[in-house]
């Protein structure tokens, strides 16, 4: 499965969940609560972000320069405590590093977030996690989780009825594994480290 196929599958599933969620889903341009705090992204997500930044340089060089400046600032802030290989930007996978990551940079703004507008400068190229955040989604433990701003007054039945296709994580994992194998990469990284030096 190529990157475009994955994004089409995810976006189709998201559109369905948004329709079923109705007014309970309050995600809108300017709502950026989920854009704070670092989170791991797949190498495929990083490649898509780099493609988006390269396009932005052609379409709007000033905005691209602002993104690059925020990326540099973020890497400088995160570098001293980065729980992984600083040179490659790959997060460590051992248990100790995973525990450190739980408390790592929870207030750090995503470097592609324009904090003035509350919008993503690389929205069309955003990671899968960003695409799927908001609608109800199963956690690895099997619980149905939502954004804390969404579904506040929804019943359990309404939340369940708007669940994002539970097959998405498995589809994403398979697509990421195929991408990693095809490109000789491994592991996960952060948005800032995926974009540094781009």
Predicted local confidence at residue 105, as pLDDT? 84
Residue 4, pLDDT > 80, answer no
Predicted local confidence at residue 198, as pLDDT? 61
Predicted local confidence at residue 74, as pLDDT? 97
Lowest mean pLDDT among 13-17, 27-31, 108-112, 174-178: 27-31
List, for residues 90-128, the tens digit of each pLDDT value.
Answer: 999 888 887 778 878 889 999 999 999 999 999 999 999
Q: What is the CA radius of gyration of the chain?
A: 17
What is the spatial distance between Cα 71 and Cα 192, in angstroms, rounded to a whole number? Answer: 5
Confidence grade of residue 65 (pLDDT, cut at 50, 70, 90) = very high
Exposure on the CB side of residue 87, measured as CA atoms within 13 A: 0
List, for residues 161-171, the tens digit of each pLDDT value.
Answer: 999 999 999 99
Query: What would the two tokens of residue 155 be?
Result: 């019943």
CA angle 122, 131, 87 (to 5 degrees): 60
Nearest of 14, 36, 38 to residue 134 by alpha carbon: 14
- In sequence order, what are the beta bridge partners of 137? 145
pLDDT (average), residues 47-53: 98
- 142 or 195, which is more confident? 195
Predicted local confidence at residue 184, as pLDDT? 96
* Rounded percentage of the chain residues whose pLDDT exceeds 90: 77
Residue 183, pLDDT > 90, answer yes
Residue 1, pLDDT > 70, answer no
Predicted local confidence at residue 100, as pLDDT? 78
Q: How far apart are the first and last CA of the chain?
A: 25
Predicted local confidence at residue 30, as pLDDT? 87
Name the pTM for this structure: 0.91
List, for residues 69-85, the tens digit of each pLDDT value.
Answer: 999 999 999 999 899 99
Q: Which SS3 state, helix, strand or coil, does residue 21 take?
A: helix
User: From the centroid of its chain, how far is CA 182?
Assistant: 22
| 8 A C-beta contact, residue 112 and residue 70 | yes
- In sequence order, what are the beta bridge partners of 119? 114
How does DSSP classify residue 122?
A: T
């Amino acid at each position: 499965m190529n990157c475009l196929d994955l994004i089409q599958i995810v976006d189709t599933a998201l559109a369905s969940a948004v329709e079923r969620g109705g007014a309970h889903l309050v995600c809108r341009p300017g709502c950026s609560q989920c854009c704070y705090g670092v989170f791991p992204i797949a190498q495929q997500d990083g490649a898509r972000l780099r493609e988006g930044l390269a396009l932005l340089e052609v379409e709007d060089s000033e905005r691209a320069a602002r993104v690059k400046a925020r990326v540099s600032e973020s890497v400088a802030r995160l570098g001293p405590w980065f729980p992984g290989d600083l040179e490659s930007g790959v997060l460590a996978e051992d248990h100790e590093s995973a525990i450190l990551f739980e408390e790592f940079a929870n207030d750090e703004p995503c470097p592609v977030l324009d904090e003035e507008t509350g919008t993503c400068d690389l929205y069309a190229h955003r990671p899968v996690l960003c695409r799927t955040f908001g609608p109800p989604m199963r956690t690895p433990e099997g619980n149905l989780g939502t954004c804390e701003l969404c579904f506040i007054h929804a019943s359990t039945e309404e939340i369940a009825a708007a669940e994002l296709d539970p097959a998405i994580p498995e589809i994403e994992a398979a697509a990421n594994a195929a991408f990693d194998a095809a490109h000789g990469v491994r592991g996960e990284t952060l948005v800032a480290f995926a974009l540094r030096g781009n």
